Structure 1
Amino acid sequence: TGDPLFYQLCAEEVELHNAKNKDYRSKSDPLANFDRVAAWMALYPDMNWATPEGVAIVYAMKQQDAALSLLERGYEGNVETVDTRAQDVHVYWKIVRILHRRRA
């Protein structure tokens, strides 16, 4: 058998996954958020996502997707709320603005 702490850490990660999954999932697919964000990114095939601005936009979209998922299901949130997700979106877009101005 392995180290007991290894199994404890695994159990903690399962708990965290279950808690966060409630915020991102669809009604039927626990990994639907990845499909939604990937579909959104595909709408911009010429976008270079491998830039600081691109990464910040993806992070913002992750939060926006989570907020939309919560609103669609009428669920306030398990780990974060609709309000905190909206705040995160605002913060990430301010970061996009900063990064874009630095690049200009």
Structure 2
Amino acid sequence: MKDAFLVMTLSMGLLAVAATHAHAQQDRCATREGVVSRLSEKYGETRQSIGLGTNNTMVEVFASGDTGSWTILVTDARGISCLVASGQAFETLAEAAPIPEKDA
């Protein structure tokens, strides 16, 4: 299930990055260290999943189990992180992949 969630998260994050790249760099980007520190201190969020995106970017999902807040963060090779999405009601799921039916 974590793989399916990560794929969905990466897809959403990459689409958001492509659509808002110029705007994100102006308003929603800073050093990774600074962004991660703020997510932890202000929102109580910790890293829940990680994956590699295009052009050697790192895509991470941060979330708080206490408040349910979540943030998708994309970091480039220079260590600059951009917030691409955030929201509420984060849940960790443990769904199994469906078993394909076999032809008789």
Same fold flag (TM > 0.5): no
Higher helix share: 1
Relative to the length of structure 2, the TM-score reads: 0.27
User: Whose strand fraction is larger, Structure 1's or Structure 2's?
Assistant: 2
TM-score (norm 1): 0.27
